[in-house]
Amino acid sequence: MTLTAEPYKIKMVESIHLIPKEERARALLAAGYNPFLLKSEDVYIDLLTDSGTGAMSDRQWAAMMVGDESYAGSRSFFRIKEAVKDIFDYDYVIPTHQGRGAEQVLFPHLIHKKDQYVLGNMHFDTTMAHIELNGGIPINFVIEEAFDTQMEHPFKGNFDTERMEAFILNQGRDKIAFILVTATCNSAGGQPVSMANLRAVRQVADKYGLPLWIDAARYAENAWFIKSREQGYQNKTIKEIVREMFAMADGFTMSAKKDAIVNMGGLIGIRRDESTFQNASSTCVPFEGFITYGGMSGRDMEALAAGLYDGIDPDYLENRIGQVAYLGHQLRERGVPIQWPVGGHAVFVDAKKFLPHISPEQFPAQALVGELYLEGGIRAVEVGSLLLGRNPQTGKQRVADAEFMRLTIPRRVYTNRHMDVVVDALSAIWQRRENIRGLEFSYEPKVLRHFLCRLQPVER
């Protein structure tokens, strides 16, 4: 036997429905070509995000029933604390309502002066926003191979540590607040960071006395890539790899809506430093809530604690990452240009190559998102110049290094047959790509515009 299937059977289903093409055209127009403004009922296969959209396991649902809703000292909080100690070997944990809650609580204690830099491989957009809200300047040092979508590289989320060190020397240590490793690196295409690179980043951090934090939303997927691609890790368990990764950091922020497979929740983990824990605790109380619930109900904390274990199950991870790879390979075979190799949580379609006749100012990836919805009722998301926005000083549209349409796969939700439908729809668009037009704004909000903006196709 050579085939294996999903390492679960399905106990509960949710109906989905493909509305007729004319209705999809109407819905897209009503949404101003913005997938965030579509009603989910008008969507057939929803690949907008893998955040909070996973299917919980029977273990997680069962755990919810024993949630302890005490205001202080909840038993469910201690379940998270035990799981974090067991999996990450961290002493302190603060629950938050989601990833950006963790960023909001923590970053004021890491950015000490205005205009200090936060060095990352590639910061995610909410992370960038919270750095800027605290007076910091986010800056990226991902290796340049990350932007060559056709180049084979096992760890496109890696830092260019030489470039980073040169920057530190040039600016002076005091201009740097901390280093943040996003693993996997979402904005580069769900690309992993190698253990060797993490070690090299730690060495730079030690040399200049800089704190090193991990944005741990997809910690387990990153560990899986290390196990399958990095020499010396094949025979280690995911938990051993996670521990080794996190031993190199001072702490993490985590959106638990990804690899911990809950619909809502987040964490701050701190390895040993009690004073950072105390500082963050005092900020947690007014913003998120008391430190033993911090924005979550007891039942949600139970689901999260169980989900941290679900997320590191090797059978699950093999199937999960295998499904994303399955979609990517099918598309590539049909000639569709994608970020290669395929990332952990999504296939990133290279819209610059797909629609070379559309300039970044007319948002090629967003145009493709609209076409995919029209063709198959499939909702994807733009990760490109529309998301990047304008330069706050000059007001000019910034041009992203890559124009991606992200096909983000929720965890344990769709089967490979759904992936086949996506391949079918996108292949049909590939055949008629020359006819697709770019987009222009009919309404552009000032901040985080991608959520609420409205667009229309440009005149020919």
So which residues are the catalytic ones? 71, 124-125, 215, 217, 258, 450
Nearer to ligand P61, 117 or 124 (CB): 124
CB of residue 67 to ligand P61, shortest distance in Å? 20
d(CA 359, CA 135): 32
CB of residue 191 to ligand P61, shortest distance in Å? 12
CB of residue 459 to ligand P61, shortest distance in Å? 29
Do strands 346-350 and 92-96 pair parallel, antiparallel, or not at all (unpaired)? unpaired
Nearer to ligand P61, 126 or 281 (CB): 126
Amino acid at 270: I
Neighbouring residues of 89: CB distance < 8 A, sequence distance ≥ 6: 243, 246, 247, 271
List binders of ligand P61 among 150-209 (CB under 6 A): 182, 186
The residue from 215, 259, 288, 300 that contacts ligand P61 (CB under 6 A) is 215
Nearest of 340, 346, 385, 349 to residue 368 by alpha carbon: 349
List binders of ligand P61 among 216-235 (CB under 6 A): 217
**Burial classification of residue 185, based on how many CB atoms lie within 10 Å of its CB (0-12 exposed, 13-18 middle, 19 or more buried):** buried
List binders of ligand P61 among 289-348 (CB under 6 A): none
d(CA 304, CA 316): 16
CB of residue 209 to ligand P61, shortest distance in Å? 25
* Total of residues contacting ligand P61 (CB under 6 A): 16
CB of residue 123 to ligand P61, shortest distance in Å? 8
d(CA 325, CA 368): 21
CB of residue 58 to ligand P61, shortest distance in Å? 24
Nearer to ligand P61, 46 or 165 (CB): 46
CB of residue 46 to ligand P61, shortest distance in Å? 12
Nearer to ligand P61, 264 or 374 (CB): 264
* CB hemisphere CA count around 413 (13 angstroms): 24
CB 354, CB 257: distance < 8 Å: no
List binders of ligand P61 among 115-154 (CB under 6 A): 124-127
d(CA 200, CA 412): 34
CB 271, CB 117: distance < 8 Å: no
Nearer to ligand P61, 68 or 403 (CB): 403
Peptide bond into 184 cis (omega under 30): yes
List binders of ligand P61 among 44-103 (CB under 6 A): 49, 51, 98-100
**155 — phi, psi (to 5°)?**
-135, 70
H-type helices in 89-218, by residue range? 99-106, 125-133, 161-171, 195-208
Query: What is the end-to-end Cα distance of the chain in Å, rounded?
Result: 55
CB atoms within 10 A of CB 100: 18
d(CA 439, CA 187): 22
User: How far is C-alpha 369 from the geometric centre of its chain's CA atoms?
Assistant: 18
For residue 279, give both structure tokens. Answer: 């500082």
Nearer to ligand P61, 168 or 455 (CB): 455
CB of residue 367 to ligand P61, shortest distance in Å? 18
Nearer to ligand P61, 238 or 387 (CB): 387
With binding defined as CB under 6 A, does residue 266 bind ligand P61? yes
CB 405, CB 372: distance < 8 Å: yes
The residue from 104, 149, 255, 323 that contacts ligand P61 (CB under 6 A) is 255
User: How far is C-alpha 378 from the geometric centre of its chain's CA atoms?
Assistant: 20
Residue nearest to ligand P61 (CB): 99
**452 — phi, psi (to 5°)?**
-120, -5
d(CA 185, CA 160): 14
Nearer to ligand P61, 98 or 319 (CB): 98
Residues at the contact surface with ligand P61, assessed by CB under 6 A: 49, 51, 98-100, 124-127, 182, 186, 215, 217, 255, 257, 266
